[in-house]
Amino acid sequence: MGTGASKEGEEGGANKPDGQDDTPDGQGHASAHHDGGQLYVSLKMDKNHTLTADLVPHVFGSVPLIGSWDPSKALSMERESVSMWELSFVVPPNHETLDFKFLLKPKYSNAPCFVEEGPSRQLIGGALKEDAKLALFRLENDEVLEYKVFVKADRVSPFDLAASWRAYQENFRPSSVRWMPDVSINSAPQPGGENCSSAGLDLDLEHYVVPAPSTSANSAFVYAANMTETPRSLTSGSYSFKDGGASADRPTTIKEMEVIVPDSSKAFPTSGMVESKSVGSYSPLQRQESQRGLFVDRGVGSPRLIKSSSSNIFTHDLNLDNDTKNSMPAAAGAVAAAAVADQMLGPKEDRHLAIILVGLPARGKTFTAAKLTRYLRWLGHNTKHFNVGKYRRLKHGANQSADFFAADNPEGVEARNEVAALAFEDMVSWMHEGGQVGIFDATNSNKRRRNMLMKLAEGRCKIIFLETICNDVNIIERNIRLKIQQSPDYAEEPDFQAGLQDFKNRLANYEKVYEPVEEGSYIKMIDMVSGHGGQIQVNNISGYLPGRIVFFLVNTHLTPRPILLTRHGESQDNVRGRIGGDAALSEAGELYKKKLANFVGKRLKSERAASIWTSTLQRTILTASPIVGFPKIQWRALDEINAGVCDGMTYEEIKKNMPEEYESRKKDKLRYRYPRGESYLDVIQRLEPVIIELERQRAPVVVISHQAVLRALYAYFADRPLQEIPHIEVPLHTIIEIQMGVTGVQEKRYKLMD
Ligand SMILES: Nc1ncnc2c1ncn2[C@@H]1O[C@H](COP(=O)(O)OP(=O)(O)O)[C@@H](O)[C@H]1O
Ligand SMILES: O=P(O)(O)OC[C@H]1O[C@@](CO)(OP(=O)(O)O)[C@@H](O)[C@@H]1O
């Protein structure tokens, strides 16, 4: 690793902040002899005073990429700061010599453009042939404009380029730290260099392991079906039930945190301070409190309330019926906008969506259902996973043999249809109490069963079949073995081989009568385990939520890899107790960045394709700076929650100077939006592309970000409810390792220093 190459113009004094030369030969010359990868070339022009006459710097030159010397096809540079202009492009390391010149083009007219004086420049192997020289432009009135020119080239793999392009489209903004390109790779450590020696990190990483909290991400250890909805139609004292003694219900915190939607048809009196009030996600406690006044709520994702002129009573300005208000997601931004649009325009049954899994046993249905549930909940959609197996075990016991599942066993067929119908009815009842998306998890493997479900859904909810198909016998064999280990069906079978044989017989019974989905709206996931080579087929899919679901599924796979989450090293603002800002690191933060680099170097020693993601704020970029050998990518979406007018204040100052804001945030930290800033719900919305990209990545990723952002990311992996997110503990100087695997996610924590 360590293939970074850079060359900077001398006249510009374009030294790296740390004064280091990270070119491979240490002489400041880019080398063209590297294996694979592409050169990410960044041309910059700096002028000390702003341009007159609206002239925009451009580049044109000898190859089609830069216009083949045709000024009309010259590439425009982008403004990076008041005086700095930048243009990046990608070329192969052994690219042909590139002759080019800068030119100034008027922004709005066809008036003449001004080509720089002197001979053309030459770029070879990402470096300028001669030392960079000033770019001089002689204007019509003989005025001469002078620019400093810098060139920088970094090697990146095609994979990282693709990632950075996606990120660029969605989130990039120019770097806020000078001389940090949006994508960069530091060179490999020099023997005896600072990175190798410093900070005294023990070789044994296990030495730093600390216990994860009880609510940690550990779905890998729990069979996903056990975590599904408790069959309410089969249980009276609903939530105390334990499935077959071998299961664990969802943690009670989830029940406590469940979305309870206030009845917005009852307008409530307030005592004056209310700006707006909205439908959303509340705990019963918060609801009571919110009615007492002193509540500034900039929450989004909800119809606004308007104050009646005659009294201090608030009413909705959207005339939504009972059913509508109940299915409004507790979300911000796009999710909320789509929900409002669907509810205003769509048929009533479309407000509830049932995703009906289809597939042979051991094809990943329950796994996929659980993952989709987690994703939709995190986005703010009220989603529940109904597993028919759980109903079957409760009604008929957990130890049914393969014969129970035979198509020529009428009692078995009847019993299975009955529990499927019960689960479906429970799901629809829940939807009418406010549930938005029900994930209905069973084999549903023939047309007859699916017809039954379609009839049950008629006029009540929209349905989409989600079929999981796997043609890889090795993966099926692995899945079957996992099933015997995990499923409560075999918990009391002491003989593994006997269990295996029984499950294979069960599978054969299903195979005899299996009919792939051809009806209705459907999504087929075919061989999607590894993340490459598989395909998704869709039929008759439209609408916001189904579209999002398809996009999510396209990007998920099961390749095991770690995701390391860490906050930046302690910042100077952290020391002063100031929120937000863009401060550099404190002394402790400086130490952490070295320890982190050491840790990453060891933990990801053999992971050549790993990448480091930071925010665009300097405390994360600086924390990443000593990490070498991996591409670093800056995401604006990873920036800390925007504290708006409170940015730079201490919590004490906010409490003193803006008591209403302080109180409001305390009451509903999830939905509270800082004036001219963001709420946690806003942060979740902007993190969605990050989650998708983390799901899509097949190599390890180190995410160096901030407290609020990491709370939101962590909640996704640990499946924590929205209401908990603003209160999740994400300590400084600690790495949370999320291991993505074939059975789910697993968490490990390393505390590198206090
Ligand atoms: N799309 C998929 N295709 C094949 N196997 C998968 C898929 N998704 C997950 N798996 C694997 O299948 C295993 C068994 O999955 P499970 O969800 O219990 O199967 P099912 O519900 O279809 O009986 C999971 O532990 C996971 O490793
Ligand atoms: O939502 P709360 O609990 O205020 O936490 C977010 C705050 O954490 C801080 C530190 O106080 O983040 P960080 O230092 O990780 O960037 C603030 O910048 C940010 O406003």
Task: For residue 462, tell me if it sits in a domain.
Answer: yes
Whole-angstrom distance, CA of residue 306 vs CA of residue 303:
10
Largest CA distance in the chain: 96
Question: Do 550 and 566 lie in a common domain?
Answer: no
Instruction: Out of 221, 367, 537, 553, give the residue to mutate to test ligand 1, the one with the largest number of ligand atoms within 8 Å of its CB.
Output: 367
Distance 551 CA to ligand 1 centre (A): 19
Last residue of a domain, one of 536, 555, 574: 555
- Closest ligand to the CA of 553: 1
Question: Do 724 and 616 lie in a common domain?
Answer: yes
* Ligand 2 atom 12: residue of nearest CA: 707
Higher pLDDT, 269 or 741: 741
Distance 367 CA to ligand 1 centre (A): 5
Instruction: Out of 363, 441, 443, 471, give the residue to mutate to test ligand 1, the one with the largest number of ligand atoms within 8 Å of its CB.
Output: 363
Question: Which two tokens mark 137?
Answer: 């432009």
Q: Binning pLDDT at 50, 70 and 90, where does residue 134 land?
A: confident
Ligand 1 neighbour 742 (Cβ under 6 A): yes
Question: Do 488 and 588 lie in a common domain?
Answer: no
User: pLDDT tens digits for 449-483?
Assistant: 999 999 999 999 999 999 999 999 999 999 999 98
Question: Do 393 and 484 lie in a common domain?
Answer: yes
Give the mean model confidence (pLDDT) for residues 422-430: 96
Question: Do 645 and 666 lie in a common domain?
Answer: yes
Determine the atom of ligand 1 nearest the C-alpha atom of 363. 22
Asked whether residue 177 carries a pLDDT value surpassing 60, the answer given is: no
Task: For residue 248, tell me if it sits in a domain.
Answer: no
The closest alpha carbon to 150, from 40, 4, 9, belongs to 9
Whole-angstrom distance, CA of residue 255 vs CA of residue 270:
29
Task: For residue 729, tell me if it sits in a domain.
Answer: yes
Question: Do 529 and 582 lie in a common domain?
Answer: no
Q: Binning pLDDT at 50, 70 and 90, where does residue 523 land?
A: very high
Last residue of a domain, one of 144, 170, 196: 170
Asked whether residue 747 carries a pLDDT value surpassing 70, the answer given is: yes
Residues linked to residue 556 through DSSP beta bridges, in sequence order: none
Question: Which domain does 480 fall in, by range?
Answer: 350-555
Ligand 1 neighbour 743 (Cβ under 6 A): yes
ipTM above 0.90?
no
User: pLDDT tens digits for 325-372?
Assistant: 456 677 778 778 777 777 666 666 568 999 999 999 999 999 999 999
Q: What three-state secondary structure class fits 700?
A: coil
The pLDDT of residue 211: 84
Last residue of a domain, one of 501, 523, 555: 555
Question: Do 459 and 570 lie in a common domain?
Answer: no
For position 747, which CATH number holds?
A: 3.40.50.1240
Asked whether residue 513 carries a pLDDT value surpassing 70, the answer given is: yes
Whole-angstrom distance, CA of residue 705 vs CA of residue 699:
19
H or E segment at 591?
helix 587-603
Asked whether residue 422 carries a pLDDT value surpassing 80, the answer given is: yes
Task: For residue 344, tell me if it sits in a domain.
Answer: no
Question: Do 535 and 568 lie in a common domain?
Answer: no
Residue entry with tokens 């002489």: 27
Task: For residue 160, tell me if it sits in a domain.
Answer: yes
Asked whether residue 249 carries a pLDDT value surpassing 60, the answer given is: no
Distance 555 CA to ligand 2 centre (A): 30
Answer positive or negative: Cα dihedral of 476, 482, 486, 490. positive
Catalytic residues: 441, 470, 568, 640
Question: Do 606 and 677 lie in a common domain?
Answer: yes
Asked whether residue 287 carries a pLDDT value surpassing 50, the answer given is: no
The pLDDT of residue 132: 64
Contacts of 669 (CB under 8 A, 6+ apart): 680, 726, 727
The pLDDT of residue 674: 97
Ligand 1 neighbour 368 (Cβ under 6 A): yes
Greatest mean pLDDT range, 192-206, 263-277, 346-360, 559-573: 559-573
Give residues (CB < 6 A) around ligand 2: 567, 571, 574, 579-580, 640-641, 643, 706-708, 726
Asked whether residue 553 carries a pLDDT value surpassing 60, the answer given is: yes
For position 527, which CATH number holds?
A: 3.40.50.300
Asked whether residue 82 carries a pLDDT value surpassing 60, the answer given is: yes
Distance 722 CA to ligand 2 centre (A): 18
Question: Do 493 and 591 lie in a common domain?
Answer: no
Task: For residue 254, tell me if it sits in a domain.
Answer: no
Distance 281 CA to ligand 1 centre (A): 32
Ligand 1 neighbour 156 (Cβ under 6 A): no
Task: For residue 70, tell me if it sits in a domain.
Answer: yes
Please, what is the end-to-end C-alpha distance for the chain in angstroms? 31
Q: How long a stretch of residues is the chain?
A: 754
Asked whether residue 537 carries a pLDDT value surpassing 50, the answer given is: yes
* % of the chain residues with pLDDT over 90: 48
Question: Do 646 and 735 lie in a common domain?
Answer: yes
Mean of the per-residue pLDDT values of the chain: 78
For position 89, which CATH number holds?
A: 2.60.40.10
Give the annotated binding-site residues for substrate: 567-574, 619
Task: For residue 284, tell me if it sits in a domain.
Answer: no
Ligand 1 neighbour 363 (Cβ under 6 A): yes
Question: Do 622 and 746 lie in a common domain?
Answer: yes
User: pLDDT tens digits for 639-689?
Assistant: 999 999 999 999 999 999 999 999 999 999 999 999 999 999 999 999 999
Asked whether residue 122 carries a pLDDT value surpassing 90, the answer given is: no
Asked whether residue 160 carries a pLDDT value surpassing 80, the answer given is: no
Higher pLDDT, 57 or 253: 57
Instruction: Tally the domains of the chain.
Output: 3
